[in-house]
Amino acid sequence: MDHFVLPNSGHNFDAKSSKMGMWLFLYTELLLFGGLFLVYMLYRYANQDAFLLASFELNVWMGTINTLVLLTSSMTIAMSITALQKGNNKLAINLAWATIFAALVFLVIKYFEWGAKFDHGYFPGMDHYNELPHGERLYFYLYFFMTGLHGLHVIVGGIFIAVVIKRIKSGRVNKNRISLLENSGLYWHLVDLIWIYLFPLFYLIH
């Protein structure tokens, strides 16, 4: 033990533990969505035709654009980490802003997608939804629940990155104390990872 620091003194920065803690949290997130994927797989197996029919209601092109938007945002946040590691704070901040911008684009497109479904009454509890066969109702229920939970993660990730930008500006996150930016990046990549599976499952199952 070469040095001792009081807890919460601000001097107990430990990059390795920070990252490990973040990864442990991400593993629990994987299992959270993993459980939902299991539900999806089972119900899809039991209602194949209904799931196929219901999936034609989704707009493949909007889904594709959103996938590309998320992939691009993953690249910008990854580059933001590279920029900060090289000591280029300005570029790191701009790339983090680009990520938040992509998050907003994703949410706006999602808003229009969900809006169209609401207009047609596909949200659980609406008139048209109640008239649908059992299998299609399951599909839309899972669609709204899983993309909704994912959308929540997009919002949280965006706020997380905004906090990090503020701290890069104030100097609390810098070249030598990069953990918070790295962790926000890891969280953002998880959002991307989950979408990578949600997209083919809901949009491309023809």
Partner 1 sequence: MDNKEKNAGQTAEHEHISSYAEHFGTWIALCVLTLMTVFISVFGADLGSLTVATAMLIATVKALAVALYFMHLKYEPKIYRAWIIVVMALFVFFLTMVIIDYITR
Q: If binding is defined by CB under 8 A, does position 78 make contact with partner 1? A: yes
Whole-Å CA distances, 31 to 36, 37, 158, 197: 9, 9, 22, 14
Q: Nearest approach, Cβ of 42 to partner 1 (angstroms)?
A: 6
User: Which 154-193 residues touch partner 1, going by CB under 8 A?
Assistant: 175-178, 185-186, 189, 192-193
For the residues of 67-96, what is the DSSP string, one character each? Answer: HHHHHHHHHHHHHHHHHHHTT-HHHHHHHH
Residue whose token pair is 């035709």: 49
Which segment (62-70, 115-123, 130-138, 150-158) binds partner 1 by CB under 8 A? 62-70
Q: Nearest approach, Cβ of 145 to partner 1 (angstroms)?
A: 18
Q: Which is nearer to partner 1, 84 or 165 (CB)?
A: 84
Q: If binding is defined by CB under 8 A, does position 15 make contact with partner 1? A: yes
Q: If binding is defined by CB under 8 A, does position 103 make contact with partner 1? A: no
Q: How many CA atoms does the CB half-sphere of 146 hold within 13 Å?
A: 26
Q: If binding is defined by CB under 8 A, does position 98 make contact with partner 1? A: no
Q: If binding is defined by CB under 8 A, does position 21 make contact with partner 1? A: no
Nearest-angstrom CA–CA distance, 49 and 92: 48
Does an H or E element contain 18, and which? helix 15-46
Q: If binding is defined by CB under 8 A, does position 36 make contact with partner 1? A: no
Find the radius of gyration of the CA atoms of the chain: 20
Q: Nearest approach, Cβ of 6 to partner 1 (angstroms)?
A: 11
Query: Which one of residues 17, 21, 71, 166 is an interface residue with partner 1 (CB under 8 A)?
Result: 71
Q: Are 58 and 202 in contact (CB under 8 A)?
A: yes
Q: If binding is defined by CB under 8 A, does position 89 make contact with partner 1? A: no
Query: Which one of residues 68, 152, 155, 156 is an interface residue with partner 1 (CB under 8 A)?
Result: 68
Amino acid of residue 148 = G
Chain residues in the site for partner 1 (CB under 8 A):
3, 5, 11, 13, 15-16, 19, 23-24, 27, 30-31, 34-35, 38, 41-42, 45, 60, 64, 67-68, 71-72, 74-75, 78-79, 81-82, 85-86, 175-178, 185-186, 189, 192-193, 196-197, 199-200, 203-206
